[in-house]
Structures are given as C-alpha cells and as structure tokens.
C-alpha cells in the first residue's frame, strides 16, 4: 500500500463511500488509487465543483460522514478555495487531498514561483480550514496523522486539507494494515471523547427554567452537526413543552405543522417568531452561535428581555460575544447538553398561558401571510408551497445567494422529514447550488434531490450539467428560478444609486437559452409560465431527472422585515425585530 492508497483507506474506513475529483498530473497517484478503490468516483468539470460536491455529500449524510475532494496542485487547489471556505463556515466535515510538486521543487527560496504549478497551498488554506498540513510519513507520525484527520469530525467540524508531494504519493507504507487499524481506532476515540455529558451546563439551565414564565428554545444547526438525531430533537421539544424557534440553517429539523414549531426569528421572518423571542424571559440557544445574519446584525438584541444561555463548543465564538448583558456562555459539546436536557425534560413546567399566547400570535400571523400572498402567481411564496407539498422534493438543495431564494427560506414548509440543505449557507456564494446538489444526490444513494438555482447563479458552474450527464444514475431535478437577472443586486443598486448596471439584459447581461443547456446535458426540459404548470410537473409520478425553468413573477416583497435606517449622524442601524409588523 502506498501513501496515496493509505490516506484514501483512512477516509473510507471513516465511512466515506464516494469521492469527487478533477484529475491532474500532480495528483496522479491519488487519482489512480481512487479509481481502483471501492470508492464511487464522480468526476466534476471544475475544482470549485469538486469541493462543493464533497460539501453536498457530507450534508446529505447529516454531517456525520466526511466529504472527499481530490485535486491537483496550483490552480487545482486555488479553484477550490471558495467552496472550501463555504464548507468551513458551515462546519462541514471534509477531506481535501491535494497533490503538490515533488519535494525537490517546493519553493524554499522566497521566490514568487519555483515548481511547475506550485502554489503555497498551506498558507492559502489555513484561514479557511480546521487544519492544513503536508503529509510526509517521515515527518508526521501515525499519532499525529490520526489527530490531524480527526479534526474534520471532532468538535466544531470542518474541512481538513492534506497536501502530498508527487514523489511522496507512491512511496510504500510498511505494515500498512496494522497501522490503519490503529490510526482509525484512534480517530474514533478522539471523536467519541469529544461528546461530553453536559451535566454541569444543564444544571444552570434547569435552575433558570424552574422560575421562567416565558421560556424559549432556539434550535440551531449545530445540533444536527453534533449528531443529535431529528427524533431526539423532536423528543426534547415535546417533552419539555418549551416553544421552539429555529434558524434558516435548521428550520427543517421539525415539521412545519408541529404544534411546538414557531418558526425562525430574525430580520426577514414571521412576525410571530420575532414577538415570541422578544417577549421571552429565558432563551436557551442549542447549536446557534448568535451570528450576524441570524440576529439581524444585533446579537445583543436577539432575545433582548431574556436571560440567554448559549451552548457553544468553539471558544472564539464565545469570545466575540463576551460582555453581552444577561448572557451565560457554556462551553460544551451541544450534543451532550441536549442529551442531559432530554433526560431531565420531565422536570420542566411551562405556563399554559405562554403557550396559548404563542399559538395565538402564530395563527394571526399566518392569516396575515395568507392574505398577503394567497394570489395564485408564480412567485417564490407559491413556488415554496409547491415544493413543500411535492414528494419529489423531500431533499431540497437551494443556492444560498439570490433574491428569489430568500423567499424559499422564508416560505418553505418542511414536512415528513424533508431536508432543506443550503448550498453554502453562511458564505452565500453564487453558483454552488448545482455542484452541491450533485454531491447530495450521490450521498442520498438513489433518493431524489431537487436543486433550486437562480438564472444567474446556475451559470457560475454551468459546466456541471455535463457532470450530471456523465452520471445518469444521479436522480437530480434542476429547477431554475428565472427572474431576468440578478434581482438582489438590481434591488440594491436601485436603492443606492437609482439605476442598475451589469445585473440584467437591460444593463449588460444576455438572455440564456436554458432549453439548449438542458438538451446539452441530456435532461428533459420543461418551462413553466404558470403555477398550475409547476404543480403538474412536481406531481408524485414525475421523473427524477429533469431541467425545469420557472418564469417567476417577483415584486420583491417577502413580508415584514427589519429595515436599515440612519441616525442623526448618518450612522446606519437596523430596526428592532420585535417592532416588525404587518401593515396594509
């Protein structure tokens, strides 16, 4: 077994059964080893897509199995950086195995360039990975290798980048099988030890809940990443009886119609969700890190009247919020805290009048929403309703950037265990939807996946339609929301400058013939101009491989939202989420 085979064997023994690659000279031994291994290899057409597909695969495996990207040196690595950064910010476990020039050619002189296609990979990757290291067996012993590889799946998960010079990849590994057993066993030990009991943290939380009149749980995506099952999350909410709020990254963890699901509070959110959060007296954040987007750029105000308990395993996330009033930070693995809370759920008593008030606010808000968006038009409100009801869209991969997709996050209603798996939630990069969905389709092992992209975003990785064509076993439906350009950019430009540029056909872009793209990809093409047409094509009997173009009608309204205003000195500020209300 050589070095390339050895590293791939570690990844496989950790449960990864699919890899993504774009072949290249400096990764030739990785490429051969992967092709001759039991791995199912999918060859993408751009390295950005390789890493995005590995991200999508890991998310489809509920963050419990690492994605695998194999790329060559130089531009092969630099092309992955956007996708790797996206995975890092979303805490996605991933291994990037990268070739490098032979050791004699690595730049040790401080010149701009030495080896052919050489780039300082480690320096580039360290800010956007949990760990980036060069593997040479004589320099990295087995204990260090195990500790390094475990980083992808331990603690706050994330990508691990491994660079291997070309002349090191084919070197033979002595006593390989026994060493593999020891290394993989050590990795599992590190991961297992990371899940603390959480008993100490739960004691302070339970003490606060004992006197709380208006408690709230905020369930974040960190619970899923930490390995807490949907069944246990549902049991925790049901058995404590505490009203549950979610984030845009986690709102699919509980069915929309569950009586204890009160939506996602924030800057663009149901008004009842914001009212509940801002009227709470104790808020327990489980797997939510008080990021700026979730908190409408005002973390201190998010649950302003409550004492807040934030469970967080990442010390820098705690440090950034230190000094906030009425906030207790508990540095724990949130999975252990959730286990301990569930064990003591029967001790929690919630005032029925608080539950009743929350349900009343929710009913009033939903009635307002139905009145505002009930017209049968092909807008994102209605598109979301169709996708929510479709058996074909039980696993949905929306792009994380674009005006139309904001509506999906706002209006999608997960049911029957449906998953809303963002393609780059935190970074919000255009173009990651299609390759992420390819990875998800591979990770779902035959279950249908629906990718929802914008007409602008799909072009950033349009070459991956040929990856879909090359893999006819992937049950992937591509839905393009065609709103005539970069609507979010158009709206921002018009607000700021009164005109647009480079955002639509009227300002420098061109109209795309999506039917021709679908034909080139070998996908049946359907164009929908009406809501009735879209409902028909998303019926239960619909085939799993299609390209659907939706001619959406958008007026830009998503319901009440936080507004940016300016004080007397011209300093911008956001309005309070609790003050957001419907107006006619």
Pairwise CA distance, residues 406 & 292, whole Å: 16
Confidence grade of residue 404 (pLDDT, cut at 50, 70, 90): low
Q: What is the DSSP letter of 507?
A: G
- Where does 212-326 have alpha helices with state H? 222-225, 230-240, 271-279, 315-321
Pairwise CA distance, residues 84 & 163, whole Å: 14
Q: Are residues 150 and 218 in the same domain?
A: no
Pairing of strands 395-398, 327-330: unpaired
pLDDT score at 284: 98
Domain of residue 394, residue span? 374-551
Q: Are residues 25 and 164 in the same domain?
A: yes
Q: Where are the beta strands (DSSP E) in 186-336?
A: 215-219, 244-246, 261-264, 282-286, 307-311, 327-330
The pLDDT tens digits of the residues spanning 94-130 come to 999 999 999 999 998 888 888 888 999 999 999 999 9
**Tokens standing for 282?**
């104790």
pLDDT score at 582: 86
Q: Are residues 115 and 36 in the same domain?
A: yes
Cβ atoms of 17 and 66 within 8 Å: the answer is: no
Q: Mean per-residue pLDDT for 14-40?
A: 98
The SS3 of residue 155 is: coil
pLDDT score at 487: 67
User: Which of 193, 208, 240 is the endpoint of a domain?
Assistant: 193
Q: What percent of the chain has pLDDT over 90?
A: 78
Q: Are residues 435 and 463 in the same domain?
A: yes
Q: Answer yes or no: pTM beyond 0.85.
A: yes
The SS3 of residue 341 is: helix
- Where does 90-198 have alpha helices with state H? 121-125, 142-150, 176-193
Pairwise CA distance, residues 488 & 268, whole Å: 14
The answer, yes or no, to whether residue 479 has pLDDT greater than 50, is yes
pLDDT score at 403: 67
Q: Are residues 420 and 435 in the same domain?
A: yes
Q: Is residue 563 part of a domain?
A: no
Q: Are residues 204 and 169 in the same domain?
A: no
Q: Is residue 583 part of a domain?
A: no
Phi and psi, residue 63, nearest 5°? 70, 10
User: Which of 153, 175, 193 is the endpoint of a domain?
Assistant: 193
The answer, yes or no, to whether residue 584 has pLDDT greater than 70, is no
Pairwise CA distance, residues 98 & 249, whole Å: 30
Q: Are residues 410 and 470 in the same domain?
A: yes
Q: Mean per-residue pLDDT for 458-464?
A: 95
pLDDT score at 401: 79
User: Which of 171, 193, 215 is the endpoint of a domain?
Assistant: 193
Q: Is residue 584 part of a domain?
A: no
Q: Is residue 387 part of a domain?
A: yes
For residue 566, the Cα-to-chain-centroid distance in whole angstroms is: 32
Pairwise CA distance, residues 487 & 379, whole Å: 13
Q: Are residues 325 and 386 in the same domain?
A: no
Q: Mean per-residue pLDDT for 209-230?
A: 97
Q: Are residues 323 and 340 in the same domain?
A: yes
**Tokens standing for 202?**
């739960």
- Residue 40: its H or E element: strand 40-43
Q: Are residues 121 and 91 in the same domain?
A: yes
Q: Are residues 295 and 411 in the same domain?
A: no
User: Structurally, how many domains does the chain consist of?
Assistant: 3
Q: Please give the full DSSP string across 509-549, using - where no structure is assigned.
A: -----HHHHHHHHT--EEEE-SHHHHHHHTSTT--SSEEEE
Count of C-beta atoms within a 10 Å radius of residue 78: 16
Q: Mean per-residue pLDDT for 455-468?
A: 94
Q: Are residues 419 and 539 in the same domain?
A: yes
């Amino acid at each position: 077994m050589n070095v390339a085979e050895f590293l791939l064997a570690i990844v496989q023994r950790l449960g990864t059964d699919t890899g993504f690659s774009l072949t290249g000279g400096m990764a030739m031994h990785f490429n051969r080893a992967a092709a001759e291994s039991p791995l199912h290899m999918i060859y993408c057409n751009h390295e950005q897509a390789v890493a995005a597909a590995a991200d999508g695969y890991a998310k489809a495996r509920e963050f419990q199995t690492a994605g695998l990207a194999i790329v060559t040196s130089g531009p092969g690595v630099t092309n992955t950086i956007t996708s790797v950064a996206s995975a890092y910010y979303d805490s996605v476990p991933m291994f990037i195995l990268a070739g490098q020039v032979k050791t004699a050619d690595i730049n040790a002189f401080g010149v701009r360039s030495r080896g052919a296609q050489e780039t300082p990979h480690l320096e580039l990757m360290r800010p956007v990975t949990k760990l980036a290291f060069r593997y040479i067996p004589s320099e990295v012993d087995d204990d260090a290798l195990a500790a390094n590889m475990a980083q992808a799946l331990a603690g706050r998960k994330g990508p691990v980048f491994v660079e291997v010079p070309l002349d090191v990849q084919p070197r033979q590994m002595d006593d390989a099988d026994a060493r593999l057993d020891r290394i993989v066993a050590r990795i599992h030990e590190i991961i297992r030890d990371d899940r603390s009991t959480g008993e100490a943290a739960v004691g302070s939380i339970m003490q606060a809940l004992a006197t709380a009149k208006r408690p709230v749980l905020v369930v974040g995506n960190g619970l899923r990443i930490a390995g807490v099952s949907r069944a246990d999350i549902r049991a925790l909410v049901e058995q404590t009886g505490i009203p549950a709020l979610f984030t845009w990254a986690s709102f699919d963890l509980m069915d929309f119609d569950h009586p204890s699901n009160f939506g996602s509070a924030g800057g663009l959110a149901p008004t009842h969700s914001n009212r509940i959060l801002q009227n709470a007296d104790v808020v327990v954040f489980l797997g939510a890190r008080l990021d700026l987007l979730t908190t409408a750029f005002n973390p201190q105000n998010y649950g302003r009247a409550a004492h807040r308990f934030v469970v967080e395993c990442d010390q820098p996330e705690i440090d950034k919020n230190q000094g906030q009033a009425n906030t207790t930070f508990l540095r724990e693995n949130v999975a252990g805290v959730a286990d301990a809370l569930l064990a003591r759920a029967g001790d929690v008593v919630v005032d029925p009048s608080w539950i009743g008030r929350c349900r009343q606010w929710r009913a009033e808000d939903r009635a307002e929403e139905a009145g505002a968006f009930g017209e049968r038009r092909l807008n994102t409100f209605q598109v979301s309703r169709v996708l929510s009801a479709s058996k074909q869209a039980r696993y949905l991969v929306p792009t994380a950037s674009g005006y139309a997709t904001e509506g999906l996050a706002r209006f999608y209603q997960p049911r029957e265990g449906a998953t809303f798996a963002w393609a780059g939630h935190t970074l919000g990069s255009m173009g990651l939807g299609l390759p992420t969905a390819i990875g998800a389709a591979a990770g779902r092992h035959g279950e249908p996946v629906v990718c929802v992209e914008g007409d602008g975003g799909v072009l950033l990785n349009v070459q991956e339609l040929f990856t879909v064509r090359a893999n006819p076993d992937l049950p992937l439906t591509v839905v393009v929301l065609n709103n005539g350009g970069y609507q979010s950019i158009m709206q921002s430009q018009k607000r700021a400058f009164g005109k647009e540029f480079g955002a639509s056909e009227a300002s420098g872009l061109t109209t795309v013939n999506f039917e021709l793209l679908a034909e080139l990809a070998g996908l049946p093409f359907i164009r929908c101009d009406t809501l009735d047409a879209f409902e028909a094509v998303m019926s239960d009997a619909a085939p799993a491989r299609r390209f659907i173009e939706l001619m959406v009608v958008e007026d830009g309204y998503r319901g009440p939202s936080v507004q940016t205003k300016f004080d007397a000195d011209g300093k911008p500020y956001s309005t309070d989420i609790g003050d957001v209300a419907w107006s006619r």
